[in-house]
Structure 1
Amino acid sequence: MAICDFDMIFKYVIVGWEGTSHDSRILTEIIRDPNHHFPMPPDDKYYLVDAAYTHTKGFMAPFYHVCYWLNDFSSGGRARGREEIFNHYYSRTRNVIERAFGVLKVCFPILKRMAPYSLCTQRNIVIACISLHNFLRDELFLQYDDEDIQLDNNDAN
């Protein structure tokens, strides 16, 4: 689980959970455990979360059963109705984290096909790749600054 700013810099990352753990369970456990030092948003702010999370205080999820992915809007025309319009703007804004993960996986292909290392070693590889991403962001990733770049949804997570 990660928090990313609009410059595609990872601000908070937690790794080491099993791949079968549900996203909302991980978030709930991290928030409850003060040892994780989770940075809750201020009362008047929200983190944008994907459809795997629930819409709760501090976390804004998209409307269900309404166009959500940017590709849905580009192939189906303009957004219509309040919920579609909200999801369209939401998706454009949330696309930053999708691009950040996409860039991370392009630059560090080991993240796409992790070798069968121990869970601790896999966790350390992910942390190292994210740290290098943040350190080198301004130098190497300028080509990915275009907000309209759309990555394949399967590659961006």
Structure 2
Amino acid sequence: MAGWEGTAHDSRILSETIRDPAKMGRATPQNKEEVFNQLHSSLRNVIERTFGVWKARFPILKRMASYPFDIQVRIVPATMAIHNFIRKKKLHDSLFEQFQSTTVDEDRTTEQLYPVIRPDNDQQEMNRVRDEIANLLVSRR
């Protein structure tokens, strides 16, 4: 369902699609904003799934509070390097496949999970960057 903002949660979009069956099907993006939102949503899903697999593979990432900060700083890149090595060398990663059809939290939006406070000038700058990326995406199609 093209046309939703890239920050819209998948379950919200699914609910709206179910409520209005006329919207079902794979719509082709109609403008640069829809192209950007479609690709942004796809990328966000991949990133959320990757972090879900990474945290499932290394439970230490969920319980690091008791470690000194200098140790925590080394654990994060070390586990990510191991995770990336496994992804590169394994054709069928069962843990990654398990997370392929799930989301991080079906009931909460990205904003609720990761609240961000932005001054107006930062938001305007991000809108400018988004529009610049959207223009490049459309020009390369």
TM-score under structure 2 normalisation? 0.49
Q: Relative contact order (C-alpha < 8 Å, sep 6+): which is higher?
A: 2
Higher helix share: 2
Q: Which has the higher strand share?
A: 1
Structure whose alpha-carbon radius of gyration is higher: 2
